[in-house]
Protein backbone atom coordinates (compact mmCIF):
# COMPACT_ATOMS: atom_id res chain seq x y z
CA UNK A 1 0.00 0.00 0.00
CA UNK A 2 2.74 2.36 0.95
CA UNK A 3 4.53 1.42 -2.24
CA UNK A 4 1.56 2.28 -4.40
CA UNK A 5 1.20 5.75 -2.83
CA UNK A 6 4.82 6.50 -3.54
CA UNK A 7 4.58 5.20 -7.10
CA UNK A 8 1.47 7.29 -7.69
CA UNK A 9 3.29 10.36 -6.43
CA UNK A 10 6.23 9.67 -8.74
CA UNK A 11 3.85 9.17 -11.65
CA UNK A 12 2.21 12.50 -10.85
CA UNK A 13 5.59 14.22 -10.79
CA UNK A 14 6.40 12.69 -14.16
CA UNK A 15 3.19 14.01 -15.66
CA UNK A 16 3.97 17.47 -14.34
CA UNK A 17 7.44 17.42 -15.91
CA UNK A 18 5.99 16.28 -19.21
CA UNK A 19 3.43 19.03 -19.13
CA UNK A 20 6.12 21.69 -18.66
CA UNK A 21 8.66 20.67 -21.27
CA UNK A 22 8.59 19.49 -24.84
CA UNK A 23 9.64 15.96 -25.63
CA UNK A 24 13.36 15.59 -26.47
CA UNK A 25 12.55 14.12 -29.87
CA UNK A 26 10.48 17.24 -30.60
CA UNK A 27 13.51 19.40 -29.78
CA UNK A 28 15.60 17.46 -32.28
CA UNK A 29 13.05 18.25 -34.97
CA UNK A 30 12.71 21.88 -33.95
CA UNK A 31 16.49 22.29 -33.98
CA UNK A 32 16.85 20.59 -37.35
CA UNK A 33 14.22 22.87 -38.92
CA UNK A 34 15.57 26.08 -37.40
CA UNK A 35 19.18 25.40 -38.39
CA UNK A 36 18.20 26.80 -41.78
CA UNK A 37 18.09 30.32 -40.25
CA UNK A 38 21.74 30.50 -39.26
CA UNK A 39 25.07 30.35 -41.08
CA UNK A 40 28.73 30.56 -40.10
CA UNK A 41 30.59 33.43 -41.75
CA UNK A 42 34.28 33.75 -42.58
CA UNK A 43 35.75 37.01 -43.84
CA UNK A 44 39.15 38.62 -44.16
CA UNK A 45 40.31 42.11 -43.20
CA UNK A 46 42.99 43.34 -45.56
CA UNK A 47 45.70 45.42 -43.92
CA UNK A 48 48.72 47.12 -45.45
CA UNK A 49 51.06 44.21 -44.80
CA UNK A 50 48.86 41.22 -44.10
CA UNK A 51 45.29 40.05 -43.79
CA UNK A 52 43.45 38.60 -40.81
CA UNK A 53 40.77 35.95 -41.12
CA UNK A 54 37.73 36.32 -38.86
CA UNK A 55 34.81 34.05 -38.02
CA UNK A 56 31.32 34.89 -36.85
CA UNK A 57 27.69 33.85 -37.31
CA UNK A 58 24.83 35.45 -39.19
CA UNK A 59 21.08 35.23 -38.89
CA UNK A 60 19.02 35.05 -42.09
CA UNK A 61 16.27 37.70 -42.13
CA UNK A 62 14.62 37.40 -45.55
CA UNK A 63 14.28 35.30 -48.72
CA UNK A 64 16.84 37.42 -50.61
CA UNK A 65 19.77 35.96 -48.73
CA UNK A 66 20.10 38.93 -46.37
CA UNK A 67 21.70 38.05 -43.03
CA UNK A 68 22.70 40.14 -40.03
CA UNK A 69 25.96 40.07 -38.07
CA UNK A 70 26.35 41.67 -34.64
CA UNK A 71 28.27 44.97 -34.44
CA UNK A 72 31.25 43.77 -32.42
CA UNK A 73 32.03 40.91 -34.80
CA UNK A 74 33.67 43.35 -37.23
CA UNK A 75 36.43 45.73 -36.05
CA UNK A 76 35.41 49.38 -35.91
CA UNK A 77 38.67 50.42 -37.51
CA UNK A 78 38.14 48.30 -40.62
CA UNK A 79 36.73 50.18 -43.60
CA UNK A 80 34.25 48.45 -45.95
CA UNK A 81 37.02 48.33 -48.59
CA UNK A 82 39.14 46.24 -46.26
CA UNK A 83 36.40 43.65 -45.69
CA UNK A 84 36.86 40.96 -48.31
CA UNK A 85 36.14 37.33 -49.13
CA UNK A 86 32.96 36.74 -47.21
CA UNK A 87 32.28 33.00 -47.15
CA UNK A 88 29.14 31.40 -45.77
CA UNK A 89 29.14 27.87 -44.33
CA UNK A 90 26.13 25.77 -43.37
CA UNK A 91 26.21 24.24 -39.90
CA UNK A 92 27.52 20.69 -39.89
CA UNK A 93 28.36 20.61 -43.61
CA UNK A 94 31.90 19.93 -44.89
CA UNK A 95 33.81 23.22 -44.99
CA UNK A 96 34.84 22.55 -48.56
CA UNK A 97 31.29 23.58 -49.42
CA UNK A 98 30.60 27.25 -49.03
CA UNK A 99 28.92 30.17 -50.75
CA UNK A 100 30.17 33.69 -51.15
CA UNK A 101 28.46 36.75 -49.78
CA UNK A 102 28.58 40.47 -50.29
CA UNK A 103 29.06 43.01 -47.47
CA UNK A 104 26.18 45.49 -47.58
CA UNK A 105 27.09 47.79 -44.70
CA UNK A 106 26.23 48.70 -41.14
CA UNK A 107 23.03 50.35 -39.96
CA UNK A 108 23.65 53.21 -37.54
CA UNK A 109 20.49 52.72 -35.51
CA UNK A 110 20.36 48.96 -35.02
CA UNK A 111 24.18 48.63 -35.34
CA UNK A 112 23.78 45.34 -37.25
CA UNK A 113 26.12 44.60 -40.13
CA UNK A 114 24.33 43.21 -43.19
CA UNK A 115 25.54 40.69 -45.77
CA UNK A 116 23.84 39.19 -48.81
CA UNK A 117 24.44 35.54 -49.64
CA UNK A 118 24.80 34.63 -53.34
CA UNK A 119 21.68 33.05 -54.90
CA UNK A 120 23.20 29.54 -55.06
CA UNK A 121 23.85 29.68 -51.35
CA UNK A 122 20.29 30.61 -50.45
CA UNK A 123 18.83 27.20 -51.25
CA UNK A 124 17.52 25.61 -48.09
CA UNK A 125 17.84 28.79 -46.03
CA UNK A 126 14.79 30.14 -44.25
CA UNK A 127 14.34 33.61 -42.77
CA UNK A 128 13.98 33.77 -39.02
CA UNK A 129 10.61 35.49 -39.58
CA UNK A 130 9.22 32.05 -40.53
CA UNK A 131 9.40 31.17 -36.85
CA UNK A 132 7.76 34.17 -35.23
CA UNK A 133 5.07 33.79 -32.59
CA UNK A 134 1.61 34.92 -33.56
CA UNK A 135 2.03 37.98 -31.39
CA UNK A 136 5.65 38.79 -32.17
CA UNK A 137 5.69 41.81 -29.88
CA UNK A 138 4.81 39.81 -26.75
CA UNK A 139 7.73 39.54 -24.34
CA UNK A 140 8.81 36.10 -23.14
CA UNK A 141 7.88 35.31 -19.55
CA UNK A 142 10.38 35.27 -16.69
CA UNK A 143 11.37 31.68 -15.76
CA UNK A 144 10.09 30.42 -19.09
CA UNK A 145 12.19 27.52 -20.44
CA UNK A 146 14.11 28.54 -23.56
CA UNK A 147 16.61 26.92 -25.88
CA UNK A 148 19.00 28.00 -28.59
CA UNK A 149 21.46 26.95 -31.22
CA UNK A 150 25.20 26.70 -30.67
CA UNK A 151 27.78 26.28 -33.45
CA UNK A 152 31.23 24.72 -33.02
CA UNK A 153 34.39 25.99 -34.72
CA UNK A 154 35.47 25.55 -38.34
CA UNK A 155 37.62 22.49 -37.62
CA UNK A 156 34.43 20.76 -36.42
CA UNK A 157 32.46 21.77 -39.52
CA UNK A 158 30.60 24.41 -37.50
CA UNK A 159 28.60 21.51 -36.08
CA UNK A 160 25.33 22.62 -34.45
CA UNK A 161 24.45 21.77 -30.86
CA UNK A 162 21.58 22.29 -28.50
CA UNK A 163 21.61 24.71 -25.55
CA UNK A 164 18.94 24.93 -22.87
CA UNK A 165 18.08 27.41 -20.13
CA UNK A 166 15.40 29.52 -18.45
CA UNK A 167 14.76 33.23 -18.86
CA UNK A 168 16.03 35.02 -15.77
CA UNK A 169 15.37 38.71 -16.43
CA UNK A 170 14.69 41.28 -19.12
CA UNK A 171 16.67 44.55 -19.25
CA UNK A 172 16.62 47.61 -21.49
CA UNK A 173 20.29 48.28 -22.34
CA UNK A 174 18.74 50.24 -24.15
CA UNK A 175 18.00 47.36 -26.53
CA UNK A 176 15.55 44.91 -24.99
CA UNK A 177 17.78 42.16 -23.70
CA UNK A 178 16.90 38.82 -22.16
CA UNK A 179 19.25 37.21 -19.69
CA UNK A 180 19.16 33.44 -19.25
CA UNK A 181 20.31 31.41 -16.27
CA UNK A 182 23.22 30.11 -18.34
CA UNK A 183 24.55 30.17 -21.90
CA UNK A 184 21.66 29.63 -24.27
CA UNK A 185 23.04 30.27 -27.78
CA UNK A 186 26.19 31.04 -29.71
CA UNK A 187 26.72 34.67 -30.59
CA UNK A 188 24.27 35.80 -33.29
CA UNK A 189 22.47 32.43 -33.16
CA UNK A 190 18.72 32.30 -32.46
CA UNK A 191 16.94 31.56 -29.18
CA UNK A 192 13.47 29.95 -29.10
CA UNK A 193 10.77 29.07 -26.62
CA UNK A 194 9.55 25.49 -26.21
CA UNK A 195 6.98 25.97 -28.94
CA UNK A 196 9.87 26.72 -31.31
CA UNK A 197 8.94 30.38 -31.61
CA UNK A 198 11.82 32.83 -32.17
CA UNK A 199 12.36 35.02 -29.10
CA UNK A 200 15.86 36.47 -29.53
CA UNK A 201 19.40 36.27 -30.77
CA UNK A 202 22.55 35.52 -28.74
CA UNK A 203 24.47 38.71 -27.94
CA UNK A 204 28.06 39.05 -26.91
CA UNK A 205 29.46 40.76 -23.89
CA UNK A 206 27.25 39.58 -21.11
CA UNK A 207 29.96 39.30 -18.48
CA UNK A 208 29.56 37.53 -15.19
CA UNK A 209 31.47 38.68 -12.14
CA UNK A 210 33.37 35.84 -10.51
CA UNK A 211 35.87 35.51 -7.72
CA UNK A 212 39.03 33.67 -8.62
CA UNK A 213 40.76 31.74 -5.85
CA UNK A 214 44.08 30.09 -6.45
CA UNK A 215 47.07 29.12 -4.36
CA UNK A 216 48.83 32.32 -5.34
CA UNK A 217 46.00 34.81 -5.35
CA UNK A 218 43.14 35.22 -2.95
CA UNK A 219 39.62 36.06 -4.04
CA UNK A 220 40.19 38.41 -6.92
CA UNK A 221 37.10 39.77 -8.62
CA UNK A 222 37.04 39.22 -12.35
CA UNK A 223 34.52 39.49 -15.11
CA UNK A 224 34.27 36.28 -17.10
CA UNK A 225 32.95 36.40 -20.62
CA UNK A 226 32.28 33.31 -22.66
CA UNK A 227 33.35 34.23 -26.18
CA UNK A 228 31.57 31.30 -27.81
CA UNK A 229 28.18 31.30 -26.17
CA UNK A 230 25.92 33.96 -24.74
CA UNK A 231 23.57 33.99 -21.77
CA UNK A 232 22.34 37.41 -22.83
CA UNK A 233 20.27 37.76 -25.97
CA UNK A 234 18.57 40.60 -27.84
CA UNK A 235 14.83 40.02 -27.90
CA UNK A 236 13.11 39.28 -31.20
CA UNK A 237 11.84 42.86 -31.60
CA UNK A 238 15.43 44.11 -31.91
CA UNK A 239 15.93 41.78 -34.87
CA UNK A 240 12.61 42.66 -36.47
CA UNK A 241 13.55 46.36 -36.39
CA UNK A 242 16.45 45.48 -38.71
CA UNK A 243 14.12 44.12 -41.39
CA UNK A 244 13.31 47.45 -42.96
CA UNK A 245 16.79 48.88 -42.49
CA UNK A 246 18.95 47.01 -44.98
CA UNK A 247 21.53 49.65 -45.92
CA UNK A 248 21.96 50.60 -49.56
CA UNK A 249 25.47 51.91 -48.89
CA UNK A 250 28.25 50.45 -46.72
CA UNK A 251 28.23 53.34 -44.27
CA UNK A 252 24.54 53.18 -43.46
CA UNK A 253 23.90 56.72 -44.74
CA UNK A 254 21.92 58.86 -44.18
CA UNK A 255 23.22 59.28 -40.65
CA UNK A 256 21.37 61.83 -38.54
CA UNK A 257 23.42 64.04 -36.22
CA UNK A 258 22.91 66.81 -33.71
CA UNK A 259 26.49 67.59 -32.70
CA UNK A 260 26.47 67.15 -28.94
CA UNK A 261 29.65 65.68 -27.51
CA UNK A 262 29.73 63.96 -24.13
CA UNK A 263 26.31 63.43 -22.59
CA UNK A 264 26.71 62.27 -19.04
CA UNK A 265 23.82 60.84 -17.02
CA UNK A 266 23.12 62.43 -13.65
CA UNK A 267 23.03 59.95 -10.78
CA UNK A 268 19.90 59.62 -8.59
CA UNK A 269 21.31 61.94 -5.89
CA UNK A 270 21.98 64.69 -8.40
CA UNK A 271 18.57 64.18 -10.03
CA UNK A 272 16.90 64.56 -6.65
CA UNK A 273 19.02 67.63 -5.84
CA UNK A 274 17.98 69.25 -9.13
CA UNK A 275 14.33 68.49 -8.42
CA UNK A 276 13.96 65.95 -11.22
CA UNK A 277 12.24 63.57 -8.84
CA UNK A 278 12.79 60.06 -10.14
CA UNK A 279 13.37 61.29 -13.70
CA UNK A 280 16.60 60.99 -15.62
CA UNK A 281 18.83 63.78 -16.88
CA UNK A 282 21.79 64.08 -19.22
CA UNK A 283 24.44 66.78 -18.83
CA UNK A 284 25.82 68.17 -22.09
CA UNK A 285 29.61 68.55 -22.06
CA UNK A 286 30.22 70.21 -25.39
CA UNK A 287 28.36 71.63 -28.35
CA UNK A 288 30.35 71.05 -31.51
CA UNK A 289 31.13 73.96 -33.77
CA UNK A 290 28.92 74.25 -36.83
CA UNK A 291 26.50 71.59 -35.55
CA UNK A 292 22.67 71.58 -35.47
CA UNK A 293 22.89 71.78 -31.66
CA UNK A 294 24.89 75.01 -31.95
CA UNK A 295 22.39 76.46 -34.42
CA UNK A 296 19.58 75.53 -32.07
CA UNK A 297 21.21 77.47 -29.24
CA UNK A 298 22.04 74.58 -26.92
CA UNK A 299 24.87 75.30 -24.49
CA UNK A 300 27.41 73.18 -22.66
CA UNK A 301 26.14 72.23 -19.16
CA UNK A 302 22.48 72.25 -20.27
CA UNK A 303 20.74 69.21 -18.80
CA UNK A 304 18.46 67.28 -21.15
CA UNK A 305 15.42 65.95 -19.31
CA UNK A 306 12.90 65.13 -22.05
CA UNK A 307 12.72 64.30 -25.74
CA UNK A 308 9.68 65.33 -27.79
CA UNK A 309 7.83 66.01 -24.55
CA UNK A 310 8.51 62.55 -23.13
CA UNK A 311 10.68 62.54 -19.98
CA UNK A 312 13.85 60.49 -20.46
CA UNK A 313 13.19 56.97 -19.13
CA UNK A 314 14.85 55.82 -15.94
CA UNK A 315 17.13 53.13 -17.36
CA UNK A 316 19.79 51.30 -15.39
CA UNK A 317 22.72 51.47 -15.16
CA UNK A 318 22.65 55.28 -15.59
CA UNK A 319 24.84 55.22 -18.73
CA UNK A 320 22.05 53.45 -20.61
CA UNK A 321 20.14 56.74 -20.64
CA UNK A 322 22.89 58.32 -22.79
CA UNK A 323 22.78 55.35 -25.18
CA UNK A 324 18.98 55.64 -25.28
CA UNK A 325 19.13 59.28 -26.41
CA UNK A 326 21.73 58.52 -29.09
CA UNK A 327 19.54 55.69 -30.39
CA UNK A 328 16.52 57.94 -30.47
CA UNK A 329 18.48 60.37 -32.65
CA UNK A 330 19.80 57.61 -34.92
CA UNK A 331 16.30 56.24 -35.39
CA UNK A 332 15.27 59.49 -37.06
CA UNK A 333 16.17 60.94 -40.46
CA UNK A 334 18.27 64.02 -41.13
CA UNK A 335 15.97 67.00 -41.57
CA UNK A 336 13.58 65.84 -38.87
CA UNK A 337 13.06 68.28 -36.02
CA UNK A 338 13.15 66.95 -32.52
CA UNK A 339 12.44 68.84 -29.38
CA UNK A 340 14.66 68.70 -26.30
CA UNK A 341 13.48 69.86 -22.90
CA UNK A 342 16.49 71.13 -21.02
CA UNK A 343 17.31 72.54 -17.63
CA UNK A 344 19.49 75.65 -17.84
CA UNK A 345 20.30 77.40 -14.56
CA UNK A 346 17.48 75.38 -12.98
CA UNK A 347 14.93 76.75 -15.51
CA UNK A 348 13.16 74.50 -18.02
CA UNK A 349 13.46 75.40 -21.69
CA UNK A 350 12.08 73.73 -24.81
CA UNK A 351 14.57 73.71 -27.69
CA UNK A 352 13.77 72.38 -31.17
CA UNK A 353 16.67 70.98 -33.19
CA UNK A 354 16.63 70.10 -36.84
CA UNK A 355 18.81 67.02 -37.23
CA UNK A 356 21.61 67.38 -39.74
CA UNK A 357 23.57 64.94 -41.83
CA UNK A 358 26.52 63.58 -39.88
CA UNK A 359 29.90 64.82 -41.13
CA UNK A 360 32.15 62.32 -42.86
CA UNK A 361 33.42 59.66 -40.41
CA UNK A 362 37.01 58.36 -40.21
CA UNK A 363 35.79 55.12 -41.81
CA UNK A 364 34.57 57.06 -44.83
CA UNK A 365 37.76 59.07 -45.27
CA UNK A 366 39.95 58.43 -48.30
CA UNK A 367 43.30 56.83 -47.64
CA UNK A 368 46.41 55.61 -49.39
CA UNK A 369 49.36 53.45 -48.44
CA UNK A 370 52.82 54.65 -49.51
CA UNK A 371 54.82 51.48 -49.56
CA UNK A 372 58.29 52.99 -49.98
CA UNK A 373 57.67 55.44 -47.14
CA UNK A 374 55.87 52.88 -44.97
CA UNK A 375 52.86 54.98 -44.08
CA UNK A 376 49.13 55.12 -44.76
CA UNK A 377 47.65 58.60 -44.56
CA UNK A 378 43.97 59.40 -44.60
CA UNK A 379 41.82 62.44 -45.07
CA UNK A 380 41.27 64.55 -41.92
CA UNK A 381 37.60 64.48 -40.95
CA UNK A 382 35.46 66.43 -38.48
CA UNK A 383 35.77 64.01 -35.56
CA UNK A 384 39.58 63.87 -35.92
CA UNK A 385 39.83 67.61 -35.34
CA UNK A 386 37.26 67.58 -32.53
CA UNK A 387 39.20 64.81 -30.76
CA UNK A 388 42.38 66.89 -31.08
CA UNK A 389 40.70 69.94 -29.52
CA UNK A 390 41.03 72.18 -32.55
CA UNK A 391 38.60 74.08 -34.74
CA UNK A 392 36.71 71.51 -36.87
CA UNK A 393 35.87 74.08 -39.52
CA UNK A 394 39.50 73.73 -40.64
CA UNK A 395 40.16 70.15 -41.81
CA UNK A 396 43.80 70.66 -42.76
CA UNK A 397 46.58 68.07 -42.80
CA UNK A 398 46.26 64.30 -42.96
CA UNK A 399 45.94 61.64 -40.27
CA UNK A 400 48.39 58.75 -40.03
CA UNK A 401 46.38 55.54 -40.25
CA UNK A 402 49.21 53.03 -40.32
CA UNK A 403 52.99 53.03 -39.91
CA UNK A 404 55.10 50.12 -41.09
CA UNK A 405 57.63 49.17 -38.42
CA UNK A 406 61.26 49.95 -39.34
CA UNK A 407 60.16 51.82 -42.47
CA UNK A 408 61.51 55.33 -43.19
CA UNK A 409 58.46 56.98 -41.64
CA UNK A 410 58.37 54.46 -38.77
CA UNK A 411 62.02 55.09 -37.93
CA UNK A 412 61.38 58.84 -37.96
CA UNK A 413 59.12 58.35 -34.92
CA UNK A 414 55.75 58.93 -36.60
CA UNK A 415 52.93 56.96 -34.96
CA UNK A 416 49.41 55.89 -35.75
CA UNK A 417 46.88 58.75 -35.30
CA UNK A 418 49.53 61.47 -35.60
CA UNK A 419 48.34 64.51 -37.50
CA UNK A 420 50.73 65.56 -40.28
CA UNK A 421 50.49 69.35 -40.69
CA UNK A 422 53.41 70.05 -43.02
CA UNK A 423 55.33 67.98 -45.52
CA UNK A 424 58.78 69.14 -46.65
CA UNK A 425 58.09 72.64 -45.38
CA UNK A 426 54.74 73.03 -47.15
CA UNK A 427 51.57 73.35 -45.08
CA UNK A 428 49.18 70.53 -45.98
CA UNK A 429 45.86 72.12 -46.94
CA UNK A 430 43.98 68.94 -47.71
CA UNK A 431 44.27 65.25 -48.53
CA UNK A 432 44.95 65.67 -52.24
CA UNK A 433 47.77 68.08 -51.55
CA UNK A 434 49.26 65.60 -49.06
CA UNK A 435 49.17 62.88 -51.71
CA UNK A 436 50.99 64.97 -54.27
CA UNK A 437 53.58 66.06 -51.70
CA UNK A 438 54.21 62.48 -50.60
CA UNK A 439 54.33 61.26 -54.22
CA UNK A 440 56.82 64.00 -54.99
CA UNK A 441 58.94 63.02 -51.99
CA UNK A 442 58.90 59.36 -53.04
CA UNK A 443 59.91 60.22 -56.58
CA UNK A 444 62.37 63.00 -55.78
CA UNK A 445 65.38 60.86 -54.96
CA UNK A 446 66.05 63.25 -52.07
CA UNK A 447 67.66 61.79 -49.01
CA UNK A 448 64.92 62.79 -46.61
CA UNK A 449 61.28 63.59 -45.99
CA UNK A 450 60.62 66.19 -43.29
CA UNK A 451 57.21 66.39 -41.62
CA UNK A 452 55.72 68.66 -38.99
CA UNK A 453 53.58 66.31 -36.91
CA UNK A 454 51.04 67.15 -34.21
CA UNK A 455 50.44 64.76 -31.32
CA UNK A 456 48.57 65.54 -28.09
CA UNK A 457 48.50 69.26 -28.90
CA UNK A 458 52.27 69.50 -29.40
CA UNK A 459 54.08 69.55 -32.70
CA UNK A 460 57.45 68.11 -33.63
CA UNK A 461 59.58 68.07 -36.76
CA UNK A 462 60.26 64.50 -37.83
CA UNK A 463 62.75 63.45 -40.44
CA UNK A 464 62.41 60.24 -42.42
CA UNK A 465 65.60 59.07 -44.09
CA UNK A 466 64.71 57.79 -47.53
CA UNK A 467 66.67 54.88 -48.85
CA UNK A 468 68.51 55.54 -52.11
CA UNK A 469 66.47 54.57 -55.12
CA UNK A 470 63.14 54.81 -53.36
**Residue 283 interacts with other proteins (CB under 8 A)?**
yes
**Residue 267 interacts with other proteins (CB under 8 A)?**
yes
What percent helix, strand, coil does the chain show, rounded to 5? 25, 35, 40
**How many Cβ atoms sit within 10 Å of the Cβ of residue 224?**
9
Residue 349, Cβ density class (10 Å: 0-12 exposed, 13-18 middle, ≥19 buried): middle
**Residue 445 interacts with other proteins (CB under 8 A)?**
no
Q: In the complex with other proteins, which residue's Cβ is closer, 32 or 448?
A: 448
Residues 6+ apart with CB under 8 A from 26: none
In the complex, the smallest distance separating the C-beta of residue 286 from other proteins, rounded to whole angstroms, is 6
Binding residue for other proteins, selected from 85, 144, 194, 264, defined by CB under 8 A:
264
* Distance separating alpha carbons of residues 366 and 381, to the nearest angstrom: 10
**Residue 459 interacts with other proteins (CB under 8 A)?**
yes
Q: In the complex with other proteins, which residue's Cβ is closer, 240 or 274?
A: 274
* Distance separating alpha carbons of residues 361 and 376, to the nearest angstrom: 17
* Distance separating alpha carbons of residues 65 and 355, to the nearest angstrom: 33
Nearest to 180 by CA among 162, 194, 166, 196: 166
**Residue 169 interacts with other proteins (CB under 8 A)?**
no
**Residue 298 interacts with other proteins (CB under 8 A)?**
no
**Residue 273 interacts with other proteins (CB under 8 A)?**
yes
In the complex, the smallest distance separating the C-beta of residue 432 from other proteins, rounded to whole angstroms, is 21
Binding residue for other proteins, selected from 266, 288, 373, 441, defined by CB under 8 A:
266
CA distances from 354 to 327, 329, 358 (A): 16, 11, 12
In the complex, the smallest distance separating the C-beta of residue 421 from other proteins, rounded to whole angstroms, is 8
Contact assessment for residue 288 and residue 259, using Cβ atoms and an 8 Å cutoff: yes
Q: In the complex with other proteins, which residue's Cβ is closer, 119 or 425?
A: 425
Binding residue for other proteins, selected from 7, 182, 249, 285, defined by CB under 8 A:
285
Residue 182, Cα to own-chain centre: how many angstroms? Answer: 23
**Residue 29 interacts with other proteins (CB under 8 A)?**
no
**Residue 415 interacts with other proteins (CB under 8 A)?**
no
Torsion of CA 297, 298, 301, 307, to 10 degrees: 150
**Residue 282 interacts with other proteins (CB under 8 A)?**
no
Number of residues that bind other proteins (CB under 8 A): 30
**Residue 317 interacts with other proteins (CB under 8 A)?**
no
Residues 6+ apart with CB under 8 A from 269: none
Q: In the complex with other proteins, which residue's Cβ is closer, 339 or 454?
A: 454
* Distance separating alpha carbons of residues 275 and 415, to the nearest angstrom: 48
* Distance separating alpha carbons of residues 19 and 13, to the nearest angstrom: 10
Q: Which of residues 416-435 bind other proteins (CB under 8 A)?
A: 421-422, 425
What mask, x for binding other proteins by CB under 8 A, covers residues 97 to 116? --------------------
Q: Which of residues 374-413 bind other proteins (CB under 8 A)?
A: 389
Contact assessment for residue 418 and residue 450, using Cβ atoms and an 8 Å cutoff: no
**Residue 348 interacts with other proteins (CB under 8 A)?**
no
**Residue 452 interacts with other proteins (CB under 8 A)?**
yes
Q: In the complex with other proteins, which residue's Cβ is closer, 38 or 325?
A: 325
Q: In the complex with other proteins, which residue's Cβ is closer, 363 or 463?
A: 463
In the complex, the smallest distance separating the C-beta of residue 416 from other proteins, rounded to whole angstroms, is 20
Binding residue for other proteins, selected from 458, 467, 468, 469, defined by CB under 8 A:
458
In total, the chain counts a number of residues equal to 470
First to last CA, the chain: 99
Region near other proteins per CB under 8 A, out of 64-72, 73-81, 176-184, 259-267 = 259-267
**Residue 301 interacts with other proteins (CB under 8 A)?**
yes
Torsion of CA 229, 233, 236, 240, to 10 degrees: -80
Contact assessment for residue 182 and residue 231, using Cβ atoms and an 8 Å cutoff: yes
- Which residues of this protein are in contact with other proteins, per CB under 8 A? 261-262, 264, 266-267, 269-270, 272-274, 283-286, 300-301, 389, 421-422, 425, 448, 450, 452, 454, 457-461, 463
Amino acid sequence: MRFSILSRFLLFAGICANGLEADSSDFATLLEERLSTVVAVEFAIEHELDRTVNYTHALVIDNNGTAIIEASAISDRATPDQLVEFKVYRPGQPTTQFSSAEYLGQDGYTTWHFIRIEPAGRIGLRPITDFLAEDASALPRIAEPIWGIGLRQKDEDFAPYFLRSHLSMIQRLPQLTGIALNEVASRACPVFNDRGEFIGVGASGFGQRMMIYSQRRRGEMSVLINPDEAAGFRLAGEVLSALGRVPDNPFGRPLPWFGIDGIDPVDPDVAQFLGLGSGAGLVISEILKGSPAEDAGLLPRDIIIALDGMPLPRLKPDEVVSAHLMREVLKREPGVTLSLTILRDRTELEIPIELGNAPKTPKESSRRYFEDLGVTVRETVFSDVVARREDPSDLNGVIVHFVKPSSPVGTAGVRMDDWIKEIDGTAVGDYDQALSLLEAAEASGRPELVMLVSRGGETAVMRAKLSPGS
